[in-house]
Amino acid sequence: MSICVALIAHDSKQDDIVALAKKYRATLSRYHLIATDETGGAIAAATGLEIERLASRAQGGIVQVAARVVTGEVMGVIFLMDALQPHPYEADYLALLRVCNLHEIPLATNIATAELSIQGVAKRREAYLIFNPVAGQGNPDRDLALIRQILEPQLNLHTIFTQPDIEPAVQAREAIEAMQSLKAEVEPGCIIACGGDGTVSAIAGATINTGIPLGVIPRGTANAFAVALGLPTDLKWASETIASGNTRMVDAAYCNDVPMVLLAGVGFEAGMVNNASRELKNRLGTLAYVFSAAQQFFTQEDFNVMVELDGEILEFKTGAVTIANSAPPTSVMAQGFGEVIPDDGLLEVTIPVSNTLFQDINTSATLLASALVKSQFEDSNLVCLRTAQLKVTTDPPQTLVVDGEILEANPIEFTCVPKGLTVFSPLSTI
């Protein structure tokens, strides 16, 4: 559903509304414009603006605008009136005034109020909310209504719903292109990702090195990205954090040209994610990953891995390699150092090299303890590395998971992008 600005004018005010449209053409061009036939034709001819022309006033065009207000498609109405002259269709005008009041839609009736409205809109940041309605178990209609209630007073909010046949990253790139096409005097827009980790990671990946701030409103199972960065997981608090406008810069990464904002896992981590089905996550929530990890622990087979970094070649026999850009404490296999630092310009690599089941259990306990106290515990069966770039080759080839998505690749190259993401964050995390 497009969010429209409606333009109407009495006959004696047609020249005034055309002059207004010329003066504020750059701002009006950012919106879907609707107008009664005579007004729309005059403005389009004078400015070249794209305008959806409704019926003429005589044929019910004002009633059509009122209907759009009722369905929530109109963000504001400019209706330049001539208060000194009697006009036909008075009932239509009164109906429009009434629905604007009922639905709290701004209505400007003269040049002064119209200019104030347009100037106010021009200074507000454009925001594209990419909303996944099937993520999580909450009520999507209620959640979206709350988000809009908090954000629309602060932002020019455009809502895009995820689609089964369109990748969220594609939708994000289209929104970014729309924002980058705006005039330089317009404050840079932002992208808001609302969904589970798959949706959030895909959208975040599209914003790498764009400088466009990313807002995160989690609605998934684990919400790992939000937890890793200390972002709110409560929908109301997350929305208020975006409205406050405070940002921080964090690292991003690429895995064989695939954007990575969280972590990649070879072997154990990939098997665990692969086993955590959508049905299992719906039934057990975050416990689905615990259940899946327990299964994978006893079925994961070791493999040979060669790691190339900083001009060195290291070889190991292991069941898991985890490369983390950022990670929540629950991603235990990434906790070799006790805490993944999201803004140090480095990737953190954790490789367990234990040889027996007892050593595997002991190493897992070490990683869990490190995550709990956010400090590294020494373990001779753990290899922990920090690097900005590395190459991983496995024999035999292993399944790879990148930010929750299962991929096939061998060898695998990782590159950190320092300060590649700008994220809306609470002041306590900045």
Do 14 and 103 lie in a common domain?
yes
Using CA atoms of 213, 235, 199, 251 in order, give the dihedral in degrees to the nearest 10. 40
Give the domain CATH number at 97.
3.40.50.1380
Domain that holds residue 160: 125-245
Q: State the pLDDT at residue 405.
A: 85
Cβ contacts of 382 within 8 Å, gap of 6 or more:
336, 350, 351, 352, 353, 363, 366, 367
Give the domain CATH number at 164.
3.40.50.10330
Do 178 and 44 lie in a common domain?
no
Residue 254 lies in a domain: no
How many domains does the chain fold into?
3
Measured CA to CA, the distance from residue 12 to residue 291 in angstroms comes to 72
Give the domain CATH number at 309.
2.60.200.40
H-helix or E-strand containing 404? none
Q: Which two tokens stand for residue 74?
A: 């109109």
Does the pLDDT at position 358 exceed 70?
Answer: no
Cβ contacts of 173 within 8 Å, gap of 6 or more:
206
pLDDT in tens, 134-151: 887 789 999 999 999 899
Do 230 and 147 lie in a common domain?
yes
Tell me whether the omega of the peptide bond preceding residue 411 falls within 30 degrees of 0, making it cis: yes
Residue 268 lies in a domain: yes
Residue 250 lies in a domain: no
**Mean pLDDT on 362-375:** 59
pLDDT in tens, 338-348: 788 999 999 99
**Mean pLDDT on 388-417:** 91
| Range with the largest mean pLDDT of 58-72, 268-282, 351-365, 376-390 | 58-72
Q: Based on C-alpha coordinates, what's the Rg of the chain?
A: 27
Do 386 and 265 lie in a common domain?
yes
Do 30 and 166 lie in a common domain?
no
Residue 14 lies in a domain: yes
Of 91, 121, 151, the one marking the end of a domain is 121
pLDDT in tens, 6-40: 999 999 999 999 999 999 998 888 788 999 999 99
Cβ contacts of 213 within 8 Å, gap of 6 or more:
188, 190, 191, 247, 422, 423, 424
More confident residue, 422 or 320: 422
- What pTM does this model have? 0.72
**Distance between start and end Cα atoms, the chain:** 36
